[in-house]
Homo-oligomer: A and B are copies of this chain.
């Protein structure tokens, strides 16, 4: 299949860029002496995860039990489900364990810890559970110094469960945009997670794994003493949010949306595309960053940005492209009906989620279809 045979809108992966991104992260992890466990919620695509594994990744991280099921069926066994476990989801986790999946769960509260262990005892299964640590006040987790950390650890150190380690995610890294602040947060993430692990060990509890990570902190980390593994997801494609954070260049962005000009707002200097918010997602993650890219950055088919042009607005199946600096009075001639463009997205995880499959551009004009899935 060639590029001009793809119907629009389509989610296009630039495979050479993706491979560079994978190699860059893996090389950094190797240099820091830690294992790397990519978060496959970004792609939900077996072909992408295989490329990450082939480059040296050990295990995967997932955000839904459906991802765990799909990747296990595709031959991935070492799977971390990195969203706090609750009782109602335990039967699916049990089914995975009983099928031979090396599934790890996480908890950040005593009630959930007790629930997992009790459910494991009841069904004669030992769930490996990691404790989620909050190192930046961003979302969930137990703070490294909290007394209940030990209580949770003890609840997981009995029949039905096995305390496997601790993990943290410094999601506030998305709000930063300097190398120094990112390196400082990476150190805070590392130090907090290691502190939690040491407290557990001092209490006589096992804590083999110390898992940290987010794409920005993973790339910014200067040393990872005490850490055993790192997790990151969006680095595989990167996106405009990550570009604003400062951890990639525009030429690293490996996911874009292929679109066609279907009309114009000639009086306003706008072109109407068949990529609206259904194709781009509603993500406006760059709105509060240093450069607001609207709903995305238009590029020509070779991936070169159309300087000054932005996807300024989006309806369900219509996107509006305009030159925000100098209204383009001759846009019908510059971008006639039928013109094809690429749009770089704000947030690759959100944009990819809108598509049943990616079109992967292997080289100059060779396309493969890579399935992806959705739902829970």
Contacts and interface: CB of A to CB of B under 8 A. Distances in A.
A64 B108 CA distance: 43
A278 B374 CA distance: 9
A188 interface: no
A7 B89 contact: yes
A41 B279 CA distance: 14
A109 B264 contact: yes
A328 interface: no
A7 B83 contact: no
B260 A7 contact: no
Nearest to A5: B88
B9 A350 contact: no
Interface in A240-275: 260-265, 272, 274
B350 A353 contact: no
Looking at chain A's contact residues, the main secondary structure is loop
Nearest to A62: B317
A263 B109 contact: yes
A83 B274 contact: yes
A114 to B, nearest CB: 11
Contacts of A63: 278, 316-317
Contacts of A320: 139
A337 interface: yes
A199 interface: no
Nearest to A83: B317
**Interface pairs A-B: 8 shortest CB-CB:** A282-B282, A356-B375, A84-B262, A282-B283, A63-B317, A84-B263, A140-B263, A86-B262
Given A63-B316, A84-B262, 11 more contacts: A63-B278, A83-B262, A84-B272, A86-B274, A111-B337, A111-B338, A139-B265, A139-B320, A140-B262, A353-B354, A356-B375
